Structure 1
Amino acid sequence: MTTSTEASVAAHVQAAIAAYAHALDADRVDDLVELFWPDGAAEITGVGTFEGHEAIRAGYAGFSPTRPQLHLVGNTVITSATEDEATAVSNLAFFQRDDSGWAVRLVGRYDDVLRRRDGEWRFQRRVTTFLP
């Protein structure tokens, strides 16, 4: 893979990860679902695995924010990449605001597989694991 291809893959992976966090925090479930391939899966450890658009939509509909929230995702490392598939791992900190201000509620990690089809990058599988 050329340096420019590696940079392009990295940019698309980062864009999908950021779009997911923004859609989740803004309660835009339809936008979140569209970040997955129709045969994609979202697994939230301890909660369940949602396979396919309808299951992902139903699963995430149950997570509507009750207060302002913010998912900060960082330290993303692309662990493997080709022109059509990439795997990545990222750290996650979930903040929520209440009457006393913003506070970290959860920390965890995302393990992702993204695929490119017809020039478009989307999640094939996203595993969310929360740390104790």
Structure 2
Amino acid sequence: MSTANQASTTAHVQRAIGAYAHAVDADRVDDIVELFWPDGVAEITGVGTFEGHEAIRAGYANFSPARPQLHLATNIVVTSVTEDEATAVSNLAFFQRDDSGWAVRLVGRYDDVLRRRDGEWRFQRRVTTFLP
């Protein structure tokens, strides 16, 4: 794979990770679903595994924010790239705002597999693990 193709794939991966964070924080469940392939899997350790669009939609519909929130995905490292698949790992910090201001509520990690079909990159599998 050429350096230009690898850079393009990395940009697509970073865009998907960022779009996911924004969609979750804004409670845009349909946008979250569209970031996954129809046979995609969203696994949230300790919460559940959601396979396919309908299960992902139902699962994320239960996470409507009660307060303003912010997911920060950082230290994104694309760990492997082929023409039609990429894997990545990133750190997660979850903030919520209450009457006293913003506070970190959770930290964790995302492990992602994204696939390209018809020129479009989406999550095939996203595993969210929260750290103690």
- Report how far residue 98 of structure 1 moved: 0.1
Normalising by structure 2, what TM-score? 0.99
The amino acid across from 1:88 in the alignment is A
Tell me the amino acid that sits aligned with residue 40 of structure 1.
G
User: C-alpha deviations, 1:19-46, integer Å up to 9, x for none?
Assistant: 0000000000000000000000000001
Q: How does 1:45-64 map to 2 (within 5 A)?
A: 45-64=45-64
Q: What pairs with 1:61-76 in structure 2 (closer than 5 Å)? A: 61-76=61-76
1-structure distance, mates of 2:72, 2:46: 21
Q: Which runs of 4+ in 1 moved over 4 A?
A: none
Task: Please give the per-residue CA displacement for 1:50-69, whole angstroms capped at 9, x wherever unaligned.
Answer: 00000000000000000000
Mapping 1:73-92, distance limit 5 Å? 73-92=73-92
Report SS of the residue matched to 2:76.
strand
Matched, 1:98 2:98: yes
RMSD over aligned Cα, in angstroms?
0.3
Q: What TM-score does the superposition give when structure 1 sets the normalisation length?
A: 0.99
SS in 1 for 2:91: strand
Residue correspondences, number:
132
What is the distance in 1 between the residues matched to 2:98 and 2:17? 26
Work out the CA distance in 2 between the residues paired with 1:81 and 1:3.
Answer: 11
Identity of aligned residues (%): 86
Q: 1:13 & 1:83 partners in 2: Cα distance?
A: 13
| Aligned mates of 2:111, 2:98 — CA distance in 1 | 29
Q: How does 1:1-132 map to 2 (within 5 A)?
A: 1-132=1-132
The aligned amino acid for 1:30 is D
**Distance in 1 separating the partners of 2:90 and 2:98:** 26
Structure 1 unmatched ranges of 5 or more: none
Aligned equivalents of 2:66, 2:48: Cα separation in 1 = 21
One-letter amino acid matched to 1:90: S
